[in-house]
Amino acid sequence: MTEPIKSGTELPAIREDVDLRTSDGLTLVGELALPESGAPAATIIALHPLPTHGGFMDSHIIRKASARLPALADLAVLRFNFRGVTSPRGTSEGFFGDGVDERHDLQAAMDLVAARGLPHPWLVGWSFGTEVALKWGLEQPVEGAILLSPPLRRTTDAELARWAGSGKRLVAVVPELDDFLRPPEASARFAVVPETEFVAVKGGRHLWVGEAQTYRVLSEIVARLNPAALPLPTEY
């Protein structure tokens, strides 16, 4: 008997609490979720929204990616609290670094990915997480970055332009009704990276509230990491 997948649905996976150790001496708390059977097809490193406005590893799109995609799309999902951030999992040491010190947090996550031999890593940032991905992702052995609701507030045009010709894929998923950067302005900013895969989501909002918007965002992620798993089921 199948049941509809809802906001609070958590599908089967191998879930492990992990601690990440940064090069500047902090311990960050996180979780690694893996498919129950077989090797993952690819790996998500999830970078959460702005800590000073309530962003954490349980921000709903990131939580739902971890809850669903190991089972529905054979993806590994690593999510963690940036420095100074608290969630039910615990509190990461340190203090908010305004997207600069968080480069050490990203490196710590990538160190775990390498240590576990997780395949085909992708950065998936949401809002503030996109700034960390854009600023520091080129230094990492990732296949690309998926940017959900990128505000481009902390990312300079020069930093963005570095992605042009890098060989790493860049996917910008921009809500039509975003609070900070809407598709026309975003298209102009991302023009410095001509190979950007630009996705304007009609009716979308910055926080991607509601099951329809969640489904769209998760589908855009899976379309890049494991397109054979599409369309995502709505029941399990």
Per-residue pLDDT of the chain (236 residues; tens, 9 = 90+): 799 999 999 999 999 999 999 999 999 999 999 999 999 999 999 999 999 999 999 999 999 999 999 999 999 999 999 999 999 999 999 999 999 999 999 999 999 999 999 999 999 999 999 999 999 999 999 999 999 999 999 999 999 999 999 999 999 999 999 999 999 999 999 999 999 999 999 999 999 999 999 999 999 999 999 999 999 999 99
Residue in the block written with tokens 């970078």: 47
If one counts the domains in the chain, the total is 1
- pLDDT of 196 reads 98
Tokens in use for 78? 């690593």
- pLDDT of 70 reads 98
Nearest to 29 by CA among 42, 39, 20: 20
Peptide bond into 231 cis (omega under 30): yes
The answer to the question of residue 218 being in a domain is: yes
CA distances from 178 to 53, 123, 127, 145 (A): 16, 21, 11, 19
Using CA atoms, how far apart are residues 150 and 64, in angstroms rounded to an integer?
19
The residues, any chain, with a CB within 8 Å of residue 202's CB and separated by 6 or more, are: 176
The answer to the question of residue 220 being in a domain is: yes
229 CB burial (10 A radius; 0-12, 13-18, 19+): middle
The answer to the question of residue 234 being in a domain is: no
The answer to the question of residue 7 being in a domain is: no
The answer to the question of residue 6 being in a domain is: no
What is the domain-level CATH number for residue 189? 3.40.50.1820
The answer to the question of residue 3 being in a domain is: no
The residues, any chain, with a CB within 8 Å of residue 12's CB and separated by 6 or more, are: 36, 70, 71
Query: Which range of residues forms the domain containing residue 220?
Result: 14-229
142 CB burial (10 A radius; 0-12, 13-18, 19+): buried
- pLDDT of 1 reads 72
The answer to the question of residue 125 being in a domain is: yes
Is residue 229 within 8 A of residue 201, CB to CB? The reply is: no
Tokens in use for 121? 């890593």
Residue in the block written with tokens 């960390």: 132
- pLDDT of 153 reads 96
pTM of the model: 0.98
Using CA atoms, how far apart are residues 20 and 231, in angstroms rounded to an integer?
33
